[in-house]
Chains A and B, each alone.
Chain A
Amino acid sequence: DGGITQSPKYLFRKEGQNVTLSCEQNLNHDAMYWYRQDPGQGLRLIYYSQIVNDFQKGDIAEGYSVSREKKESFPLTVTSAQKNPTAFYLCASKPQGLNYGYTFGSGTRLTVV
C-alpha cells in the first residue's frame, strides 16, 4: 500500500540536543511539507520542498533544518536553536500540479525533557 510514514511516533529530546524526524513516502509525490501543530491549534508550515534538492522556508522555519536528497524522503532536524520544540510534527506530500490535497503522515510527538 502506498503511503507516508513518519518515525518515530514519540520522541524525547534533552535541551540543547538536535533531533531528526523521519518522513518517507512511496506515493511518487513530488512535493513534501513539514507542519507543526501545538495543542488546540492549527497547523503551521515549517518547510516545504517541491522538487529534489530544493526546499523553501515556511512561516516558522527558525530553529529547523531540512534536506531533500531523495524524492521519497524529507527529514526534519529540530536544532537546539528552536526555543520551544515540544509539539506534534506532521509531514505531508502531494503530487505535481496545483490543486491536489495533501496526504499526511501519522505524526511525531516531540517532547523536550
Chain B
Amino acid sequence: GESVGLHLPTLSVQEGDNSIINCAYSNSASDYFIWYKQESGKGPQFIIDIRSNMDKRQGQRVTVLLNKTVKHLSLQIAATQPGDSAVYFCAEKAGRRALTFGSGTRLQVQP
C-alpha cells in the first residue's frame, strides 16, 4: 500500500550545525506535504508545508525541498538549537484524503 517513510530514525547534530531530515513517499498522486515537530508528550506542531507545484519553500530557519521525480522530501534546519530537539514527522496527502504520516525521525542536538 501507499506509505510515507523516513531514512533515519535518529539524527544527532552539534548545536549550530545545519540539520537535514529526509522523507520518502510512495504515492505519486500526493499533492501536499507537511513537516511537523513533536515534543515528548505533546501534540505535533506545524513547521512548514509545500504543494506539489513547488520544489522549495523557506520559512524561518527552515527549508523544505520536494523532489517529485524520486518522491523525496527533506527538511533543512539552519543553525540547529537545543530547542529543536524533538521528533519530526513528514506527512502527505492526495486531494481530499486525510494526511498520512511517516514514522518520525528523532533529532538530538548536542551542546
Q: Is the CB of B51 within 8 A of A104?
A: no
Confirm or deny: A63 has a beta carbon within 8 angstroms of a beta carbon on chain B.
Answer: no
List residues of chain B with CB within 8 A of the CB of A98: 32, 95-96
Stretch at the interface among B39-47, B66-74, B78-86: B39-47
Which bucket holds chain B's interface residue count?
20 to 34
- List 14 additional contacts besides A41-B104, A109-B41; criterion CB under 8 Å: A35-B101, A40-B104, A42-B89, A42-B103, A43-B44, A45-B99, A45-B100, A90-B43, A92-B43, A99-B49, A101-B36, A101-B46, A104-B36, A107-B41
The 10 closest A-B pairs by CB, nearest first: A104-B43, A42-B101, A43-B101, A101-B46, A42-B103, A99-B32, A106-B43, A104-B44, A101-B34, A48-B98
